[in-house]
Chains A and B, each alone.
Chain A
């Protein structure tokens, strides 16, 4: 099994619908992150969580919300999806040593909003 698992892998949804992307990890890391990837823009941070009670906005949090249900689970919600939220979404985890060891990424969720 993968260390960081994202579900679903692909999703097509309609404008205005609520959608949840899920992430679970077996790394035992306290820190979890949600990024979106757009062509030519690299990865941008949406939300991050340093533990179950600590959730913080990233640089592009508008239109998104998150829930840290447990140390191993971090979900991303789009309350009312819009077409410009079409992107590839990545979940990542790290421990305290992330500045030295980097992140572990999931395989991504490709979301299309029509």
Chain B
């Protein structure tokens, strides 16, 4: 069974500085990987996805993530944080079996002025 570990429960950055949210995964098969964002009192919104095409994936709002098979990682980055990026971020792994998408515990991103 696959699993995902988000290495930081909370990340705090200053506005305009880079963001790095770390995710490691475990999967027996070629995984699909996703990042979702949850703003306060909102549902989950898909940021980006990796599905065995290009290893560097670009998403919405300037976010991107790189799939590194040798490191079993899928870290989320953004060059310059904006106040509106403050939210909770979830890394998700799927092995292609539709009912088995595993969520990480989440990383709360705080952006300081």
Contacts and interface: CB of A to CB of B under 8 A. Distances in A.
Interface of A: 4, 31, 33, 35, 40-45, 48, 50, 56, 58, 90, 92, 94, 96, 98-103, 105-108
Contacts, number: 62
Given A90-B43, A92-B44, A99-B32, 16 more contacts: A31-B98, A33-B99, A35-B103, A40-B9, A40-B105, A40-B106, A42-B106, A43-B90, A44-B103, A50-B99, A99-B51, A99-B96, A99-B98, A103-B101, A105-B44, A108-B43
Contacts of A102: 34, 36, 46, 49, 92
Interface string B46-64: 1001010000000000000
Nearest to A107: B43
B104 A50 contact: no
B110 interface: no
A90 B44 contact: yes
A103 B106 CA distance: 17
Interface in B93-113: 94-99, 101, 103-106
A50 B44 CA distance: 21
Interface residues on B, range: 20 to 34
A106 to B, nearest CB: 6
B109 to A, nearest CB: 15
A21 B7 CA distance: 33
A4 B103 CA distance: 20
Contacts of B103: 35, 42-44
Contacts of B90: 42-43
A50 B98 CA distance: 9
Nearest to A9: B41
A53 to B, nearest CB: 16
Given A43-B103, A96-B98, A101 B49 contact: yes
A43 B92 CA distance: 10
